[in-house]
Amino acid sequence: MTPDLDVAVVGAGIAGLTAAHELRRAGLTVRVYEHLPEVGGRMRSVRHEGWTVDTGAEQVAPRGYRATWELLRRLGVCPADVPRVGGALAVWRDGRARLGVGENTAVLTGAGLSARARPALAAFSARTGRHRARFDGDRPEATPFGAATVRQVAARYHPDLHDYLLQPVAGCFFGWDTARSTAAPLVSLLLESGAPSGWRTYRGGMDFLARRLAEGTDVAAGRTVREVTDAGGHAVLRFDDGQVRARAAVLAVPAPVAAALRPDAPADERPFLDACAFTPMLKVSCLLDRPLAPPARRPLHVLLTPAVEEDVLSGVVVDHAKDPGRAPAGRGLVTLVAGPRRVRDLLDADGDEAADVLVRAAERYVPGIAGACRHRLVHAFRHGLPEAGPRALRERSGFVARPARAVEYAGDWVMLRPASEGAVRAGALAASRVLSRLGRRRPAGLDRAEEIRATA
Ligand SMILES: Cc1cc2nc3c(=O)[nH]c(=O)nc-3n(C[C@H](O)[C@H](O)[C@H](O)COP(=O)(O)OP(=O)(O)OC[C@H]3O[C@@H](n4cnc5c(N)ncnc54)[C@H](O)[C@@H]3O)c2cc1C
């Protein structure tokens, strides 16, 4: 039977849209099926009475996001559309915000580390610097840290390195429990992304790139895919009201969703799919009647709240400092991020109740926030970020070496990189694999040359 289209992509997050973009460039007919009414996935933004609220991702970096910047250049996006974030990154310690986290000066200033812990930061930086080339974000399984967890790696150093640097960063940005997640992807990402003072955000909302990619792409929004099978050389997608046949499918959804959609996944795919757990994330955005922020010597973009000092929150994001366009003039926008210890309970709670808990906890860092809050928006992600546990790290190389097939995968989890750059690279890689299998010329790609074995 003739297929309905060349490639069906499941999921209009940044990975699926990148894959679709690459495949369309190669001349294939592509349709993207998206469960939600809008594109963007974990990079969606919502608009409310003049506020622009980033529901998931907050920023990108000028370094370590090679494929993203290449894609932006190709789409004709000018640098002014990706401005530098305003405000600094700080960590809370002993009742106040400590500036300079992640900056080169941190070895001297401490940036929240006690004086006795600063040599530990210097030693850690020297160790990772010595092996810099082996911290390759594309091959997290090949770093000198092996499958050691963040906590295991930190145990060699003064406890402050874990408590006031690695845990707060991993907890706030990735929702990670440092006893479960491996150090390799975290350290590779930090080394590649560079200092937080250089980070960027998309003007007008983090959904900017998804919206640009979706222009001219055939996106069927509000269409939930129930099952995807490999019917001997082509893919079959099943919906509640019928099915679609395509020469290839790309499952650009979080790994647990992909595993559920693909009950017949081959033996060389299943171990990684099953090992690839996700951490949940929950954020509450507070639309404020004035631009409140945590008190500090300089305006803050993010205040990390370490688990040793704070149970409920992992951080406070000052969105109106990040980019003034996120809030109307004279107003504020502050987003509270739930901590890894409490997030599962809060996900099960009613949205208002979760918001109450987070706002109450935030009074300690942003005095007056409850009174200034005109409206609250809760963003809940059961599949927030790839957890990158030891088993996933060990199983990844087998998954990457599998032959190209009718059903391919994309998403940040494929790269075990808990950032949108991982999604872009995985989308590009999936497109390359589809093109190689269909015998099509691969246009100059965004992916690094990865070994792709076409099926015989
Ligand atoms: C709270 C949070 C903060 C983050 N902060 C940053 C940051 O600051 N910087 C950064 O670079 N990255 C950040 N990230 C990570 C970044 O958002 C992700 O890496 C990236 O968006 C993942 O894109 P994706 O396409 O792989 O997956 P997703 O964005 O999850 O896309 C999957 C899509 O598939 C759809 N879908 C699911 N099931 C089906 C189905 N059955 N049928 C049809 N469609 C389906 C979903 O609705 C979704 O749109 C953050 C993530 C979160 C959650």
At 454 the pLDDT is 34
With a cut of 80, say whether residue 232 has pLDDT above it: yes
Residue nearest to atom 37 of ligand 1 (CA): 253
> How deeply is 109 buried, as exposed, middle or buried, from its count of CB atoms within 10 A (0-12, 13-18, 19+)?
middle
User: Regarding predicted confidence, which is higher, 91 or 132?
Assistant: 91
Torsion of CA 277, 226, 16, 195, to 10 degrees: -20
At 366 the pLDDT is 98
pTM equals 0.96
Residue 384 Cα: closest atom of ligand 1:
53
Q: Ligand 1 centre and the CA of 175: distance in Å?
A: 14
At 105 the pLDDT is 87
Give the model confidence (pLDDT) of 403-445 as tens digits.
Answer: 999 999 999 999 999 999 999 999 999 999 999 999 987 666 6
Question: What H or E segment, with its residue span, contains residue 332?
Answer: strand 332-338
Task: Judge if the beta carbon of residue 262 lies within 6 A of ligand 1.
Answer: no
With a cut of 80, say whether residue 204 has pLDDT above it: yes
Helices (H), 313-350: 319-322, 343-348
Q: Residue ranges per domain, the chain? A: 5-35+222-276+389-454, 46-60+278-386, 100-195
Distance, in Å, from the CA atom of 342 to the CA atom of 357, rounded to the nearest integer, reads: 10
- Roughly what angle, to the nearest 10 degrees, separates helices 167-174 and 183-193? 90
Give the model confidence (pLDDT) of 251-301 as tens digits.
Answer: 999 999 999 999 989 999 999 999 999 999 999 999 999 999 999 999 999
Q: Domain 5-35+222-276+389-454: which topology?
A: FAD/NAD(P)-binding domain (3.50.50)
Residue nearest to atom 5 of ligand 1 (CA): 57
Distance, in Å, from the CA atom of 294 to the CA atom of 306, rounded to the nearest integer, reads: 15
At 2 the pLDDT is 83
Question: What H or E segment, with its residue span, contains residue 370?
Answer: helix 369-372
| 3-state class (DSSP) for residue 225 | coil
At 450 the pLDDT is 46
CA distances, 386 to each of 229, 376, 389, 411, 414 (Å): 24, 27, 9, 9, 9
Do the Cβ atoms of 47 and 215 come closer than 8 Å? no
Q: How confident is the model at residue 449 (pLDDT cuts 50, 70, 90)?
A: very low
User: Regarding predicted confidence, which is higher, 441 or 11?
Assistant: 11
Distance, in Å, from the CA atom of 418 to the CA atom of 385, rounded to the nearest integer, reads: 6
At 138 the pLDDT is 87
The secondary structure of residue 165, as a DSSP letter, is I
Distance, in Å, from the CA atom of 360 to the CA atom of 362, rounded to the nearest integer, reads: 5
Q: Domain 46-60+278-386: which topology?
A: Polyamine Oxidase; Chain A, domain 2 (3.90.660)
Q: Ligand 1 centre and the CA of 384: distance in Å?
A: 7
Q: How confident is the model at residue 169 (pLDDT cuts 50, 70, 90)?
A: very high
In the predicted model, what is the mean pLDDT of residues 317-342? Answer: 97
What six digits make up the tokens of 179?
């006893």
In the predicted model, what is the mean pLDDT of residues 344-371? Answer: 97
Give the model confidence (pLDDT) of 33-42 as tens digits.
Answer: 999 999 999 9
